[in-house]
Amino acid sequence: MSSHPFRLVNVFTAAAQALTGNPLCVFENGADFSDAVMQNLARQFNLSETTFILPSTRAVARVRIFTPNYEMPFAGHPTLGTAHVCRALHLGGDALVLETQAGLIPVHADGDRWTLTALRPSWRELDVPRDELAEALRVEPGDIGERPLWVKAGKEQLIIPLESADAVLRVNPVAERLSKITSEDGQSMAYVFAFTGASTVQSRFFFPQIGAYLEDPATGSATANLGGWCVAMQRPKPLKLQISQGAMVKRPSTLFLEVNEAEILVGGDVIEIGRGAISL
């Protein structure tokens, strides 16, 4: 048997407090594992994502990202959390590039606040009637705001504006209905949000797992896609937003989004809370 070190970090923490934000397990040397073992380790930890650091000829490191059920090409909090661990391992400094299946992702830090540069977004219209979408979310048709879109700034997700923070808090997905509204890769994920001020947003994100829908404490990929939605809607730039997520699952999280003429930036605070090793 051999020992395989990992670190536990929280990403997008609220006020830089431990035990907030989205938890992540990062294995320091993913080259030790087969694809099947990586998937089984992600299932063992049962976090929303587990990442594995591997060598790269194109970047500081290659990162593979697994949910308990499948591998993802890109996700925001795993990218930022893995960058934090790469710096701790002296693989890079405050500015580095990570290789993901979706492409090369530049990441930089100011202290323990990490920010990624998202891929250039694309979008397409939602071909589902408003009434059907409202039924899938268990809200009223009037709660849905202008122009829900499929947006992809790394991973395609459904970005749904709602008319109020109250409507965001009332969302309670109907799994059977929402599962029929799928992205280009056959996944059914919904990000709902409402502006609560000129520069503040309340959001929630739902994703499928074994026949049910779970709620994510903080979702960097969807925040990048919110930036893409703002681009599609021709919101004035530069745009800076502070986003609150996770309160409904008792994991308050804070995310920062900046959209300028050249790029979409997603940031948040990262804290390491533990280390260990698996023996296999």
pLDDT single digits (tens) 100-147: 999 999 999 999 999 999 999 999 999 999 999 999 999 999 999 999
Report CA-CA distances (Å) from 208 to 16, 69, 176, 180: 29, 10, 11, 12
Residue among 225, 234, 217, 280 nearest 257 (CA): 225
β-pair partners for 161: 193
pLDDT of 169 reads: 97
pLDDT at residue 201, rounded to an integer: 98
Catalytic member of 28, 49, 99, 156? 49
If you search the block for the tokens 């749904």, which residue do you land on? 160
Residue ranges in the chain modelled with pLDDT below 70: none
Q: What is the pLDDT of residue 209?
A: 80
Q: Which CATH architecture has domain 3-116+267-279?
A: Roll (3.10)
Residue owning tokens 């587990």: 50
Q: Which residues pair with 64 in a beta bridge?
A: 52
| Structure tokens given for 279 | 């023996």
Inter-CA distances, 223 with 37, 86, 87, 253, Å? 30, 23, 24, 12
Beta bridge partners of 169: none
* Rounded Cα distance, 136 and 133, in Å: 5
Its pTM stands at 0.95
CATH number for the 122-262 domain, one of 2.60.40.420, 3.40.1710.10, 3.30.565.10, 3.10.310.10? 3.10.310.10
Annotation marks residue 163 as catalytic: no
Let me know: does 12 contact 77? Beta carbons within 8 Å: yes
pLDDT score, position 45: 97
Our measurement of the distance from residue 76's CA atom to the centroid of its chain's CA atoms, rounded to an integer in Å, reads: 4
Q: Are 3-116+267-279 and 122-262 the same fold in CATH?
A: yes
Report residue 35 as tokens. Answer: 């694809």
Q: How many residues in the chain?
A: 280
Structure confidence at residue 1 (pLDDT): 86
Helix-helix angle 220-232:76-88, to 10 degrees: 130
The domain ranges of the chain are: 3-116+267-279, 122-262
Decide if 38 contacts 99 (C-beta within 8 A).
no
Q: What HEC string does 50-103 produce?
A: EEEEECCCCCCEEEEEECCCCEECCCHHHHHHHHHHHHHCCCCCCEEEEEECCE
Q: Copy the structure tokens of residue 245.
A: 């997520």
